[in-house]
Amino acid sequence: MPLFLIVLFSFSWATLVHTRESFLQCLSLHSDINARLIYTQNSSSYSSVLELSARNARFSTPTTPKPSVIVTPSHVSHIQATINCSREHDVQIRIRSGGHDYEGLSYVSPVPFVILDLINLRSIDVDKENNTAWIQAGATIGELYYRIAEKSTTLAFPAGVCPTVGIGGHFSGGGYGMLTRKFGLAADQIIDAHLVNVDGRILDRNSMGEDLFWAIRGGGGASFGVIVAWKVKLVSVPSIVTVFTVKKTLEENATKLVHKWQSVAEKIHEDLYLRLLLKAVPSSQEGKRIIQASFTSLFLGRIDQLIALMQESFPEFGLVKEDCIEMSWIQSTLYFAGIPHNESFDILLNRTRTAFFFKGKSDYVKEPIPEIALEGLWQWFYEVEHGWFQLIFSPYGGIMDEITESETPFPHRAGNLFNIHYEVGWGEEDASTSQKHISFMRRLYKYMEPYVSKSPRAAYMNYRDLDLGSNNKGNYTSYRQASSWGLKYFKNNFNRLIHVKSMVDPQNFFRHEQSIPSLLR
């Protein structure tokens, strides 16, 4: 290595070490945070804490940039001190609750950074009498469902199906699941919040004002501050619900059923949520695979009611009683998470999940995809030989048609038939394997372009996709840079989000590659 590079590297390393030590000294001076809640790269538990909530293995490789410090606050004062010391010493922070973000933005940065990991802030207080709950942002969906079920068999909450997803990011990006057509998004149920702003002040709905309260319910909390807790409305469900999963192959008329599903699932009664999963599975012939359409459903009622509804709205499907299972709502959360029925509900409290390599994308569909396009789509499933690939079609309609686009920053309401979630995954990391799968996903995304929303081609913020555009330097994002993805995630709400950001964080302290930009920087 040339001498000038050695000198430059030595200077940069010394600067990083000095900044880290200054940051740590600041923390100790301005908070009572226990040293056991702080992890540096010299800490024996540093790697295990870093990896615990890292869900995409693409961003957990030896070459992935690592934080100089991980702070795991147990009190809001620790968050305040972390923000204040980060500002004082010009250290970027990344905020992590569950770590499911698709591009690793909560635990990776191209510039020196600190992770503020909310794993110790996960208390949940369910008020059965008033049908509300206060949930700290470090809790998971599974923990929330478990605590609700402890108090009631007829209260529930409309959030996602994966139990290990963190509440902080899920709620602030929208948050949909099997109850969405009946009750709306998780963000639609939020009635108060506690947030630490850039000045280190603790704000609630009243003190933050309605503009900021609007922005964090679907606009992504990490652009505006650190969400500490959410207050939400709980919803009422029957003591018994009905579920089914029916799988159809192409030989069993899957193409026509998928085509018909597109015009049924969005219009059917809002008590029925009929989701569709498309994937290739091994066939009985060695080395061969078959395309499988898996229709999975939650119905807020009993089997006989469901059969009558399906016969009226989707007779071609041929649903029979033997396909259906009655259970409680909390049992259904295990069912849709793919957890065996004989498992204890305690498994919902398990925060650990194996990280895997994957790339995800999303789309919204406003007109049924033609049969000929579906037939072309099936060919893509055979292309992924070493890994897995799936599409999830999640229906809209119901109450989602009744909430205006501007009610929250999440704009994808009336006019959408369904959302598409694309996901390709693989089991090992090397440059060629990763590039092959990511290239596959990009080509498929191009194939789907004629059949999805346009002007803009919309996307779901919680399925982060840096292909849509980013500020890859992790520094200050301009409006021009941000509009490439901001209009896709938020449509006409994007400009209002920028206005709020410019008011509450004008110097753009809270930032990442797809954070809302401030007009003042």
Q: Does domain 241-327+356-451 have CATH number 2.40.70.10?
A: no
**pLDDT confidence band for 169 (50 / 70 / 90):** very high
At 9 the pLDDT is: 37
**Would the pLDDT of 5 be above 50?**
no
pLDDT digit string (tens) for 67-92?
999 999 999 999 999 999 999 999 99
In the chain, where the domains are located: 16-117, 241-327+356-451
3-state secondary structure 256-274: HHHHHHHHHCCCCCCCEEE
**Would the pLDDT of 26 be above 90?**
yes
> Cβ(320)–Cβ(307) under 8 Å?
yes
CA-based nearest residue to 386, from 479, 315, 289: 289
Distance of alpha carbon 186 from alpha carbon 168, whole angstroms:
11
Q: What is the dihedral of CA 369, 372, 377, 382, to 10 degrees?
A: 160
Higher pLDDT: 31 or 17? It is 31
CA-based nearest residue to 67, from 54, 81, 84: 54
pLDDT digit string (tens) for 173-211?
999 999 999 999 999 999 999 999 999 999 999 999 999
Q: Is 463 noted as a catalytic residue in this protein?
A: yes
**Would the pLDDT of 1 be above 70?**
no
At 11 the pLDDT is: 40
What number is the average pLDDT over the span 327-356? 94
**Would the pLDDT of 10 be above 50?**
no
**Would the pLDDT of 3 be above 90?**
no
Domain 16-117 class in CATH:
alpha beta
Please spell the DSSP secondary structure of 33-76, one letter per residue: --GGGEEETTSTTHHHHHHHT--BGGGSSTTS---SEEE--SSH
At 89 the pLDDT is: 94
What number is the average pLDDT over the span 305-325? 98
pLDDT digit string (tens) for 454-490?
999 999 999 999 999 987 554 556 778 899 999 999 9
Pick the catalytic residue from 39, 146, 463, 489: 463
